């Protein structure tokens, strides 16, 4: 289990525990975190679970696969380094303390 902090665009923080094996998106959904819409349910077929990973965590995450990079082209103001789709980040003990920042909007 990992504690993950979701920071809304206005600075409101939500720190929740997410079970290993779930995705960061599922953790947001299961804990009613506002700002993660996840329209496709985690199939990597949209960009509505887009976040900006806190800079200190960027290198600690697995690299983006091609499908995620393609979907990020549709995200709101994607950052080439920090943008990730939360449906593509599996939770492990190593992610304890992860901080993600939500964009102003999802599209």
pLDDT band at 88; cut points 50, 70, 90: very high
Q: What is the pLDDT of residue 85?
A: 98
Q: Dihedral of the CA atoms 62, 2, 4, 20 (nearest 10)? A: 60
> For residue 83, is it within any domain?
yes
Cα–Cα dist 103/79, whole Å = 10
pLDDT band at 58; cut points 50, 70, 90: very high
Question: pLDDT tens-digit profile of 20-32?
Answer: 999 999 999 999 9
Q: 71 to each of 21, 97, 99, how far by Cα in Å?
A: 22, 26, 21
Question: 75: domain CATH number?
Answer: 3.10.20.30
Q: What is the pLDDT of residue 104?
A: 96
> For residue 107, is it within any domain?
no
Query: Considering its fold, how many domains does the chain have in total?
Result: 1
Domain, as residue range, for 82: 2-101
> For residue 64, is it within any domain?
yes
Contact between 76 and 50 under an 8 Å Cβ cutoff? The reply is yes
> For residue 62, is it within any domain?
yes
pLDDT, average across residues 49-71: 97
> For residue 19, is it within any domain?
yes
Task: Count the residues in the chain.
Answer: 107
């Amino acid at each position: 289990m990992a504690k993950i902090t979701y920071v809304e665009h206005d600075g409101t923080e939500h720190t929740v525990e997410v079970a290993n094996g779930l995705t960061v998106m599922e953790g947001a959904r299961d804990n009613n975190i506002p700002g993660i819409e996840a329209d496709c349910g985690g199939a990597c077929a949209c960009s509505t679970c887009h976040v900006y990973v806190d800079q200190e965590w960027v290198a600690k995450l697995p690299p983006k696969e091609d499908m995620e990079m393609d979907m990020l082209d549709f995200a709101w103001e994607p950052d080439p380094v920090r943008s990730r789709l939360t449906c593509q980040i599996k939770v492990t003990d190593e992610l304890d303390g992860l901080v993600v920042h939500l964009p102003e909007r999802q599209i």
